[in-house]
Structure 1
Amino acid sequence: MWDFSRLSLVKTQLCLLCRQSSEVLICDFCTRDLLLFDCKSYDYNLLNWPKVRRGLKQLNAENVLALADYQWPLSRLLTGLKFSKKIMHANALAKLFVTHALGDLHPRPQAIIPVPLHPKRYQTRKYNQSVELGKCISALTGIELISGMLTRHKATQTQTSLSSNQRKANVKNAFSLHSAIKYQHIAILDDVITTGATVEAIYQLIRRQYPEIRIDIWSICLTLEH
């Protein structure tokens, strides 16, 4: 005989994309439908792909890794994380990034440094989407997350509507480094990279003080030319 009193205690997890019952945050069917970068074929460096190199002309870093182009449905997951604090999205995106972007990359960075928010913006949102992504990637890989050594002291204009040159000027001298970096290999993590102006500003800041450190650039999505 059925015990109907227990049915309300059963929780069904739904795929974040198709909303069908799933044992994981993004089901296998939806994962197979995603248009993800084949990072392995570019030796785990998307700058070996001419299309990416053309789009990141401002970036002087030697190594870039990302999961996919900034298009639906990943763009919807990132928007939900960034503006609605849907932390579950960070878990799903981090799992995809570790599995499909990092793959069997070796050696991996020793530390992840997320792009910081200005304090006023942080007070409004109460969280930093890049930090949330970094927490999840760190938990999956064991790579240390360091979110306090870098600060954003300049309240920059939102980059969305700015041109490439305007973006570069907007983030000039926007960041400060407050403590020593004890690692030989780090990754700067942002949620989305368009021209690379923000991560380039951080890259140059660290490079000036620590010219021998290997600095990788990680992002969930890149905004490719279409």
Structure 2
Amino acid sequence: MNILGFRCVQCQGQLQISIHGLCSRCHREIRHFPYCGKCGAELPHCAMWCGQCLRNEPNWDRLVMVGRYNEPLSSLIHRFKFQNQFWLDRTLARLLLLAIYQAKREHGLILPEAILPVPLHHFRQWQRGYNQADLLARRLAKWLHIPVQNQSLQRNKRTPTQRGLTAKARRKNLKNAFSIAAEFPYQRVAIVDDVLTTGSTVNEIAKLLRKIGVQEIQVWCLART
């Protein structure tokens, strides 16, 4: 019996296990499907490559995601990111944790040596009050016992929002937007972000990591549009 009255963060129904954040019904509404472990394209069965990423190969090596940017996941992410509901980090990070465990089983994922949250420009972080990717990364780092490197990667340019831009405009917008610390000893890393759209942001970061000799780059995200 739920004597403390914990509620589902989505439907407000009572929870049997408070730490889950989502009730079983809302959790089932998040559509899970087999996907390409490289680019995230939906597939009939799990595979490490697909025709789409062979034609347009991303700069990262592995992708882990919870699902598509559809309800109820999209609403949870929007509330987390734009409505100051930073306390949703635990629920959303737990969903991503489950996706990571699934990727270990189905894609043979090897956990990274360090976790890198996608940084915000300091002005945008000041406006929002927090970096949603950093909150997710901190939760995952604690649960997986992996260090989070939230100072190594910096966003130098205050770029306009990526929403509504074409893939070409996104790439131009992000050119030379990031820098990384000179001392970076890790060879296998995971970049954490909330939503992957064209992949321009993480591609730009991955290129930077390649230049300093990082061998394997994973991308962990809540949703792909």
Q: Deviations over 1:152-194 (max 9, x none)?
A: 1111110111001000000010001124221221001111010
Q: Give the corresponding residue for 2:22.
A: 26
TM-score, L = length of structure 2:
0.84
**Distance in 1 between the 2:33 and 2:128 partners?**
30
In 2, distance between residues paired with 1:44 and 1:90?
Answer: 25
1:191-210 pair list within 5 angstroms: 191-210=194-213
Give, in whole Å, the separation in 2 of the partners of 1:207 and 1:104.
23
- Alignment partner, residue 173 of structure 1: 176
Could you say if the C-alpha distance between residues 203 and 44 of structure 1 is closer, same or farther in structure 2, counting changes exceeding 3 Å?
Answer: closer
Q: Does 1:109 align with 2:112?
A: yes
Q: Deviation above 3 Å: which 4+ runs of structure 1?
A: 42-54
1:158 is aligned to 161
How do 1:1-226 and structure 2 match up within 5 A? 11-22=4-15, 23=17, 24-38=20-34, 42=36, 46=40, 48=48, 50=50, 53=53, 57=56, 59-103=58-102, 105=104, 106-210=109-213, 212-223=214-225
User: Do the aligned residues in 1 keep the contact of 2:65 with 2:99 (CA within 8 Å)?
Assistant: no
Q: CA deviation at 1:218?
A: 1.3
Alpha-carbon separation, structure 2, partners of 1:88 and 1:123 = 17
- State the Cα distance separating 1:99 from its structure 2 match: 1.2
Counterparts of 2:60 and 2:38, CA distance in 1: 14
- Deviation, 1:64, is 1.2
Letter in 1 for 2:146: I
Distance change in 2, residues 1:59/1:73 (3 Å): same
**Which is higher, the Rg of structure 1 or of structure 2?**
1
| Percent identity between the two aligned chains | 31
**Paired AA for residue 177 in structure 1:** I
Which SS does the other structure have where 1:144 is aligned? coil
One-letter code aligned to 1:62: D
Q: Aligned equivalents of 1:194 and 1:51: distance in 2?
A: 18
CA distance in 1, matches of 2:140, 2:219: 14
Distance 1:120 1:220, change over 3 A: same
Is the contact made by 1:57 and 1:195 (CA closer than 8 Å) also made in structure 2?
no
Report the secondary structure of 2:169's partner residue: helix
**Cα gap change, 1:44/1:29 in structure 2, threshold over 3 Å: closer, same or farther?**
farther
Distance 1:156 1:200 in 2: 16
- Runs of 5+ consecutive residues of structure 2 not aligned to the other structure: 42-47
TM-score (norm: length of structure 1): 0.84
Root-mean-square deviation over aligned CA pairs: 2.3
Give the whole-Å Cα distance in 2 for the aligned partners of 1:49 and 1:20.
40
